[in-house]
Amino acid sequence: MKRRKFIQNTSLGSLGVVAGATTLGCKGDSEKKEIATTTPTESDSKRIPVVIGTWNVPDPVTKAWEVIQEGKSALDAIEAGCRVEEANEEGQSVGIGGLPDRDGHVTLDACIMNSEGDYGAVVYLKDIKHPISVARKVMEETPHVLMAGEGARQFALEQGFKSENLLTENSRKAWEEWKKTSKYEPIINIENHDTIGMLAIDKDGNISGGCTTSGLAYKMAGRVGDSPIIGSGLFVDNEIGAATATGLGEEVLKTVGSFLIVELMRQGMSPQAACEEAIQRIVKKNPNHENFQVGYIAVNKKGETGAYSIHEGFYATVYQDDKINAYPPDYYLKDK
C-alpha cells in the first residue's frame, strides 16, 4: 500500500495531534500491528534506545528498532531501516519505484552519518536501488564524503552492488501522465515528498542518522535537493543530538536546516523547540510558504524527540520504550 494512502486509510490525516492508538500496517492485512498515535510528552520514560523517522513509516522504523535490540549500532540500524523503504517498489519517492526526473530517469540521493562525525553521501545515482548502503561505502571505503553520478555508480558496481532498472511500470505511467501537462510545481504531502529521514540512538547511547530519496518528482535533470547534503537534509553530533528533513529541499538547503536544529539544541533548546525555530526561519524568509511543505524531526542525546512542519499532513514515527508511535506533529499553519 502506498504510504500516503495508508495514512488516509487510517483517518489520521485530520487535524493536529491525535491521541490514542490505532491498528496500522504496510505489509498487508495479515501483519497489522498496534501503533500508538500520541505526541510524545516530556515525562516519557526510558528514552534510549530510540528510532525516529520522517512520515508514517512503521516498517523501516521497526526494522531499525529490531537491529538495535540485537545489540547492533545505531549506524547498522539506520542502514537496515532505510533499506526497507528503498526496496519497496510501491513507494514512489525512495529507491526502486521512485518517480523519475522530467526526462524519465530515476536518480537517487542519500547520506548517512555516524556517531564519530563521519559522513558519506551519493547524489544523482542511477541504477542502484540502495543508495544508503552506497553512501555508507563512500564513508567507510573511500577518502571522500560525497560522490556523484556516473562516478558514484561505477564505485557502487565495483563494491558489488547490482545494476537494475529502477523505473517501475507504475512510475513510468505516472511520468507519461505528467508529460501531458509537464507542469512543475511542488505538491504538498503527496508521494513526491516522502523522503525517509531516520535518526537512531543505540543501547550504548550513540547517535547516527540517514536520509534517502529519489528527490522531487519530475525535477530538472541534474537537480539535487537537501537530502544528501550534510547539515541540510541530515546532521548528527553525538554530543548533542541529530536532525533530518523532508519536503522542498531548496528551502532546507538555503537555511541549512538540520545543522541549525542541532546547534539550537546545543544552546539548550528542546528538539521540539529547535524544529519549530528552523521552520520559522524558512517561513519568515519566504512569503510563498503556503505553497510548499517542509518537515523536520530531531532527537537529543537524552532521547527526547521533536517534529514540526509548515503544513498539516506531516507524520513522525517513533519507536521508544518498546512501543511504536506514528503521530501528526504540530505545524506552523495550524493557528494561521
Q: Which residues are catalytic?
A: 195
Q: Does residue 100 touch ligand ASP according to CB under 6 A?
A: no
Candidates 88, 107, 246, 305; binder of ligand ASP (CB under 6 A) is 246
Nearer to ligand ASP, 153 or 193 (CB): 193
State residue 105 phi and psi, 5-degree precision: -100, 130
Q: In residues, how long is the chain?
A: 336
Least Cβ distance, residue 59 to ligand ASP (angstroms): 18
Q: In 3D, which of 219, 226, 221 has the Cα closest to residue 192?
A: 219
Residue partners of 266: CB distance under 8 A and separation at least 6: 237, 239, 240
Candidates 4, 83, 137, 193; binder of ligand ASP (CB under 6 A) is 193
Q: Does residue 247 touch ligand ASP according to CB under 6 A?
A: yes
Nearer to ligand ASP, 88 or 93 (CB): 93
Candidates 249, 257, 271, 329; binder of ligand ASP (CB under 6 A) is 249
**Residue-by-residue DSSP string for 271-331:** HHHHHHHHHHHHHHH-GGGGG--EEEEEEETT--EEEEESSTT--EEEEETTEEEEE---B
**CA–CA gap between residue 120 and residue 122 (Å, rounded):** 7
**CA–CA gap between residue 209 and residue 36 (Å, rounded):** 23
Going from the C-alpha of 34 to that of each of 45, 139, 258, the distances in angstroms are 20, 36, 31
How many residues touch ligand ASP under the rule CB under 6 A: the total is 14
Candidates 39, 62, 73, 93; binder of ligand ASP (CB under 6 A) is 93
Least Cβ distance, residue 18 to ligand ASP (angstroms): 23
Candidates 59, 194, 263, 330; binder of ligand ASP (CB under 6 A) is 194
Nearer to ligand ASP, 106 or 216 (CB): 216
Question: Residue 38 is placed in which grid cell?
Answer: 500520541
Q: Does residue 195 touch ligand ASP according to CB under 6 A?
A: yes
**CA–CA gap between residue 276 and residue 252 (Å, rounded):** 13
Least Cβ distance, residue 227 to ligand ASP (angstroms): 5
Q: Does residue 227 touch ligand ASP according to CB under 6 A?
A: yes
Nearer to ligand ASP, 72 or 102 (CB): 102
Contact call for residues 214 and 107 (beta carbons, < 8 A): yes
**Residue-by-residue DSSP string for 248-275:** -HHHHHHHTHHHHHHHHHHTT--HHHHH
Least Cβ distance, residue 32 to ligand ASP (angstroms): 26
Nearer to ligand ASP, 73 or 92 (CB): 92
Q: Does residue 213 touch ligand ASP according to CB under 6 A?
A: yes
> Which of the stretches 71-79, 132-140, 167-175, 192-200 binds ligand ASP when contact is defined by CB under 6 A?
192-200
State residue 277 phi and psi, 5-degree precision: -65, -40
Positions touching ligand ASP (CB under 6 A) are 93, 193-195, 213, 215-216, 225-227, 246-249
